[in-house]
Amino acid sequence: MQIVVAKDGKVIYDKVFGTQDIKTKNKLEWDHLYDVASVTKVTASIPLIMKEFEVGKMNFEQTLGELDSDLKNTNKTNLKVKEVLAHQSGLAPWIGFYKETVNVKNARLYLDFYSRKQDEEHNIKVTDNIYILTSIKDSIFEDIAKSPLGKKTYEYSDLGYYIFQKKIEKDYQKNYNEILQEKFYRPMGMYRTTYNPKEVFDLEYIVPTAYDKTYRNQLVHGFVHDQGAAMMGGIAGHAGLFSNAMDMAKLMQMYLNRGSYGGQQFIKSEILEQFSAKQYPSSNRGAGFDKKLVKSIKGASTDAYGHFGFTGTMVWVDPKYNLVYVFLSNRVNVSEYNNLLSSKKVRENILQAIYDSILP
C-alpha cells in the first residue's frame, strides 16, 4: 500500500509498504501506479463535470434527456444531473455488459465479439492480444438506455458516469485522458496519473491488480480491472484511472484549496463547494463525493468528503482541518472476494488515527 497524509499544505506522512503482489518480491515504491477503480469518479469525471458547470454546459437541474438526445423517449429522459451525481436517481447499480460476450463459467470469449488482432471492426483493446468489436460502445449505451429504473432512494450506480463521459467527450472532441491531461494533470504536475498506463510506463512501475477468472482469464496488469471500463478501451468515467498516492494527494489538495493549486485556479471555489456539500437529507452523498465517514469517524467535520475504490483505494479531504488522506492498495490481488480491508476497516482506522493525532 501507499499512504500519504497532508496537513496545512504540507506532507506529514508518506510511506509505502510491502511488495507489488503476493507472489513476487517486487518491492513497492512511491512512484508505482495503482488502478484506483471508483476513485476515478472524483479524480477524473467530477473535475471535468465541474468545468462543464463553469462554462454553462451542465447544471444540477438539467435532465439526462437534455444532455444526451439518445436518452429522450426513454425512462432516463427526466432524471436530473443532481440525482445521478448523488446516486439518488433510481439508475441500476451496475450492468454486466461483458457477460453477453463471454461464457463466464470458463472465461471463453465468444468469437462473434473478439479478435486476437486489432482491425477496423475490432478496434477496442480490452487487454493484450484481445480486441472487441468497435460497435460495442453503441451496445453499452443501448443497454443503459433500456435498463430499468428503481426507486429514487440512495443506491450507488456506475451508469451515470458513462453518460457524463459521452457528453464531455462530445463537447471537447477528445477522449477523457486527453482532456484531463490538458486541463488538470499536466498543469498540476500529476505526471504519474493516466488511463491505459502501459502506453506510457514500463510494466514494472504498474502494480498488478487481480487475476480475472470470469472475463479475460489472465492477470490484469496495466489494464483496468473493471470489465465495463475495459470494454470502453480502458478509458471510462467511472473507472480506469491509474495513479500513485502523491499525485492523488495533489488533486485532493487542489480541492482543499477551493479549486486552486500552484497559483492557478482550476475550478471555481463556489462550484467546488456545491459539489462537496451534502445533496439530500436522506443520503450521505455530495455530488459525486462520498460523505458517509463524517458520521463514523470521530472528529471528522461535516464539510469532509472523499471516495472509496473497489480495488482497495480511498481519498479524503477535510477542509476544517486542512487535511488530505490518500490510501492506495490492491486488495483484490489475492482474490476479488478478499474483503478483509473493508471488514477490518483498515482505511477507516488509519483515518481515525490521523484525526486522533491532530485533534486535542
Q: How confident is the model at residue 25 (pLDDT cuts 50, 70, 90)?
A: confident
Q: What pLDDT is recorded for position 360?
A: 83
Render pLDDT for 215-232 as a digit per residue (tens, 0 to 9): 999 999 999 999 999 999
Render pLDDT for 128-153 as a digit per residue (tens, 0 to 9): 999 999 999 999 999 999 999 999 99
For residue 22, pLDDT over 90 is answered with no
Mean pLDDT confidence for 306-327: 98
Domain ranges in the chain are 2-358
Q: How confident is the model at residue 322 (pLDDT cuts 50, 70, 90)?
A: very high
Q: How confident is the model at residue 94 (pLDDT cuts 50, 70, 90)?
A: very high
For residue 334, pLDDT over 90 is answered with no
Distances (CA, A) of 137 to 44, 124, 236, 348, 349: 20, 9, 11, 37, 40
Contact assessment for residue 3 and residue 19, using Cβ atoms and an 8 Å cutoff: no
Cα–Cα distance, 248 to 321 (Å, whole number): 18
Q: How confident is the model at residue 212 (pLDDT cuts 50, 70, 90)?
A: very high
Q: What does the DSSP assignment read for 85-104? A: HTT-S---S---GGGGSEET
Q: How confident is the model at residue 80 (pLDDT cuts 50, 70, 90)?
A: very high
Q: How confident is the model at residue 9 (pLDDT cuts 50, 70, 90)?
A: very high
Please list the helix, strand and coil fractions of the chain in percent, rounded to the nearest 5, in that order.
Answer: 35, 20, 45
Tell me the average pLDDT of the chain: 97
**HSE-up of residue 231 (Cα within 13 Å, Cβ side):** 24
Distances (CA, A) of 78 to 46, 216, 260, 279: 21, 37, 34, 18
Collect all residues with Cβ–Cβ distance below 8 Å to 305 and sequence separation of at least 6: 276, 286, 289, 290, 291, 316, 317
Cα–Cα distance, 284 to 61 (Å, whole number): 20
Cα–Cα distance, 250 to 293 (Å, whole number): 21
- Asked if the 2-358 domain carries CATH number 3.30.565.10, the reply is no
Written in H, E and C, the secondary structure of 23-68 is: CCCCECCCCCEEECHHHHHHHHHHHHHHHHHHCCCCCCCCEHHHHC
3-class DSSP assignment, residue 135: coil
Mean pLDDT confidence for 121-132: 96
Provide the percentage of residues in the chain whose pLDDT is more than 90: 96
**Nearest CA among 260, 271, 256 for reference residue 54:** 271
Q: Are β-strands 10-16 and 2-7 bridged in parallel, bridged antiparallel, or unpaired?
A: antiparallel
The C-alpha angle 258, 39, 234, rounded to 5 degrees, equals: 125
Q: How confident is the model at residue 24 (pLDDT cuts 50, 70, 90)?
A: confident
Mean pLDDT confidence for 255-282: 97
Global pTM exceeds 0.95: yes
For residue 31, pLDDT over 90 is answered with yes
**HSE-up of residue 53 (Cα within 13 Å, Cβ side):** 22
**Nearest CA among 210, 283, 239, 237 for reference residue 52:** 237
For residue 310, pLDDT over 90 is answered with yes
Mean pLDDT confidence for 250-257: 98
Burial 154-176 (b: 16+ CB within 10 A, else e): beebbbbbbbbbbbbbeebeeeb
Q: Are β-strands 264-265 and 114-115 bridged in parallel, bridged antiparallel, or unpaired?
A: unpaired
Collect all residues with Cβ–Cβ distance below 8 Å to 355 and sequence separation of at least 6: 297, 298, 299, 300, 321
